[in-house]
Amino acid sequence: MPHIIVHYSKELSGRIDMPALVDDLHADLASRDTVTLAQIKTRAIAIEHSKAGGMDKPNEMICITLKLLSGRSDALKEEMGHGLLTCAKSYTDKLDSPCAVTVELIHLDQHYYQ
């Protein structure tokens, strides 16, 4: 069961439709993997205090973490990460101010996952 965790600057609340972004990320991952929508766990968490970029002006950020069990090829993991990045950027590209978007893939240890 993959996990998608989205941490975002609280200033983006109301500027980006976070429930829609969560739905789109969830669906995007399901379209690229052998798991079903029901198996993916996706959540978004607003960050109260954050800083991205220089000190001259505040910039918002979206940091997406994708946690996966082993068994997927490097090519599939790259496709998954790129898909999530593209999906998130489709939201941030509409903003009138800069927003940093990152995706990180993390391996889940099967031994501790139930």
User: Using CA atoms in the order 76, 80, 83, 85, what is the torsion angle rounded to 10 degrees?
Assistant: -130
Closest CA to 21 of 32, 35, 7: 7
Is the pLDDT at 110 greater than 70, yes or no?
A: yes
Is the pLDDT at 50 greater than 80, yes or no?
A: no
Strand duo 3-9 + 60-69: pairing: antiparallel
Cβ contact 3:41 at 8 Å? yes
DSSP E strands, 1-114? 3-9, 41-47, 60-69, 99-108
Domains of the chain: 3-112 (3.30.429.10)
Report percent pLDDT > 70 for the chain. 93
**pLDDT confidence band for 111 (50 / 70 / 90):** confident
Is the pLDDT at 57 greater than 70, yes or no?
A: no
**pLDDT confidence band for 2 (50 / 70 / 90):** very high
Tally the C-alpha atoms within 13 A of residue 96's C-alpha that lie toward its C-beta: 1
For the residues 89-108, what does the mean pLDDT come to? 93
How high is the mean pLDDT of the chain? 90
Is the pLDDT at 47 greater than 70, yes or no?
A: yes
Cβ contact 84:92 at 8 Å? no
Overall pTM surpassing 0.85 (yes/no): yes
